[in-house]
Amino acid sequence: MELSDLSELNLQTSDWAQTIATPAYVLDVAALKRNLARAAEIKRQSGCKILLATKAFALPAAFPIMREVLDGTTASGEYEARLGQEEFGREVHVYSPAYAPGEVERLTKLAQHIYFNSPEQIIKNLPVIRRHPGLKIGIRINPGYSNATLGGALYDPCAPYSRFGATRDTLDRVPWDEVEILHTHALCESGHEGSVALIEHVAREFGAYVRRVKVVNFGGGHFINKPGYDIGKLIAAINAFKTEFNVDVVLEPGAGLVVNAGYLVGSVLDFHHNEKDIAILDASASTHMPDVLEVPYTPKVVGAGKPGEKPHTYILGGKTCMTGDIIGEYSFDQPLNIGDRIIFTDMMQYSFVKNNTFNGVPLPELTVLNENGTITVVRSFGYDDFRYRLG
* 316-337 pLDDT tens trace: 999 999 999 999 999 999 999 9
- Rounded Cα distance, 374 and 29, in Å: 11
Neighbours of 131 (CB within 10 A): 10
pTM of the shown model: 0.94
- Rounded Cα distance, 254 and 271, in Å: 36
Neighbours of 384 (CB within 10 A): 8
Q: Burial-class residue 325 by CB neighbours within 10 Å (0-12, 13-18, 19+).
A: buried
pLDDT at residue 15, as a whole number: 81
pLDDT at residue 245, as a whole number: 98
- Rounded Cα distance, 74 and 110, in Å: 11
* 183-233 pLDDT tens trace: 999 999 999 999 999 999 999 999 999 999 999 999 999 999 999 999 999
> How distant, in Å, are the alpha carbons of 54, 284, 318, 356, 362 from that of 359?
27, 11, 11, 9, 9
pLDDT at residue 166, as a whole number: 97
Contact status, residue 230 vs residue 192, Cβ threshold 8 Å:
yes
Which amino acid is it at 142?
N
pLDDT at residue 151, as a whole number: 67
Contact status, residue 320 vs residue 23, Cβ threshold 8 Å:
no
Give the chain's domains with CATH numbers: 5-27+261-388 (2.40.37.10), 47-257 (3.20.20.10)
Which amino acid is it at 195?
S
- Rounded Cα distance, 196 and 193, in Å: 5
Contact status, residue 130 vs residue 137, Cβ threshold 8 Å:
no
pLDDT at residue 12, as a whole number: 46
* Nearest Cα residue to 62 out of 367, 374, 288, 385: 367
Check the CA dihedral 287-297-348-66 and report its sign.
Answer: negative
Would residue 207 be called left, alpha or beta, if left means φ above 0 and alpha means ψ between -120 and 50 degrees? alpha
Spans of the chain below 50 pLDDT: 1-10, 12-13
Which amino acid is it at 385?
D
Share of the chain above pLDDT 90, in %: 91
